Amino acid sequence: MDTILLVSHVDPDGALPRAALEALGAAKALGLPVTAALFGPSVAKAAAALAGTGVAKVLAVEDAALAEPRYATDAAAAAALAKASGASIVVAPATSRMARVMAGVAQRIGGRIDTHVTQLSSEGGPTAFRWYYRQRIEAKLRRKERPWVLLVDPGATAAAQADGGAAPAIEKVAAALPAARTQVTGQRAPSSGEQTIRPDAKVLFVAGAGWTKKQADGQPHPEKAEALILSFVRTAGASLGSSKSLVDQAGEGQKVFEFMTHLNQVGQTGSTPRHPKGLATCCHGEEPHVVGWRFIRERRAVNLDANCGWARGKADVLYVADAFAVMEKVNALLAAKK
């Protein structure tokens, strides 16, 4: 019978990453007991967050060097935990920190790894689900090789419920961490005037190139567009997505919204966000863009063109209307509600 281990780093404040609770939710669907393994300078706070989740024991590697994400130390800690547990299936949340080291960990423990897992289930044996070809095909995978390492994508599964009660017992594991040659001296984020990407937002607001095109009066109105978009994103707490055409305009010397970068791009060559609702405005709804909407559960679009891509089964609701007028009204309603 397989034995299951959930392995994760702790956050800089010592908390358990939310993605770890989601990976635990996925792991529990295998129908087998789950042991947790945590690494960081101190794991007590994160272990307490597992109280009432059904996890009975937490294996821990604690070391000041694990305060900073660093391949050598993170990989050594995760490999020591996986080895100490003897688990045949090792589930980890695909945070940037775990995603960076788990392929190496799989190699060190003589296992195999599958990434971008969106669901686990027990269908004649442990089964992992993932999407291929930019979310166009869903596959179910089973493997004979063990240990089997599985990186679960954040936002794909419901987090395990922590009902409180006594924190699971912590069992320390010794790990020989290598001397750290790399030191983190600071952080630099991609330049963007305002943080507009909010993975936890309920609504994704997508702006397309139409916002910068000539409008009914024969003139483009990019400043007005900018004000309408930012006002909605701020008051609704929405995350801002973009079509490729809009973010590519920088290279074409056209007006570009300063708060928008290629990181906002949704689609085949962009991101695949997972918000419950999405609203596309001034965006045509072409397949390479809409494939990035695969996991948006309710999709609406505003477009002047009744024959745009959204009309062809890509959106649940298409408003054939001027997005400038619609968003002005929506923003006024939101402001009145505040």
Ligand X SMILES: Cc1cc2nc3c(=O)[nH]c(=O)nc-3n(C[C@H](O)[C@H](O)[C@H](O)COP(=O)(O)OP(=O)(O)OC[C@H]3O[C@@H](n4cnc5c(N)ncnc54)[C@H](O)[C@@H]3O)c2cc1C
Q: Which residues pair with 139 in a beta bridge?
A: 130
Q: Give whichever of 284 and 314 is closer to ligand X, judged by the CB atom.
A: 284
Based on the number of CB atoms within 10 Å of its own CB, is 1 exposed (0-12), middle (13-18) or buried (19 or more)?
A: exposed
Q: Which residues bind ligand X (CB under 6 A)?
A: 208-210, 213, 215, 243-246, 265-270, 282-284, 286, 288-289, 292, 302-305, 308, 322-324
Q: Give whichever of 8 and 268 is closer to ligand X, judged by the CB atom.
A: 268
Q: Give whichever of 73 and 268 is closer to ligand X, judged by the CB atom.
A: 268
Under 8 Å between Cβ of 299 and 315: yes
Based on the number of CB atoms within 10 Å of its own CB, is 329 exposed (0-12), middle (13-18) or buried (19 or more)?
A: exposed
Q: How far is the CB of 116 from ligand X (least distance, A)?
A: 17
Q: What is the dihedral of CA 261, 264, 270, 274, to 10 degrees?
A: 170
On the CB side of 52, how many CA atoms lie within 13 Å of its CA? 7
Q: Give whichever of 15 and 304 is closer to ligand X, judged by the CB atom.
A: 304
Would you tell me how many other CB atoms lie within 10 Å of the CB of residue 192?
Answer: 14
Q: How many residues does the chain have?
A: 338
Token code pair at residue 141: 């995978």
Q: How far is the CB of 124 from ligand X (least distance, A)?
A: 36
Q: How far is the CB of 141 from ligand X (least distance, A)?
A: 26
Under 8 Å between Cβ of 242 and 208: yes
- Contacts with 267 (C-beta within 8 Å, 6 or more apart), sequence order: 243, 244, 288, 289, 290, 291, 292
Q: Give whichever of 221 and 277 is closer to ligand X, judged by the CB atom.
A: 221
Q: How far is the CB of 144 from ligand X (least distance, A)?
A: 36
Q: How far is the CB of 330 from ligand X (least distance, A)?
A: 13
Q: Give whichever of 50 and 246 is closer to ligand X, judged by the CB atom.
A: 246
Q: How far is the CB of 276 from ligand X (least distance, A)?
A: 21
Rounded Cα distance, 207 and 161, in Å: 35
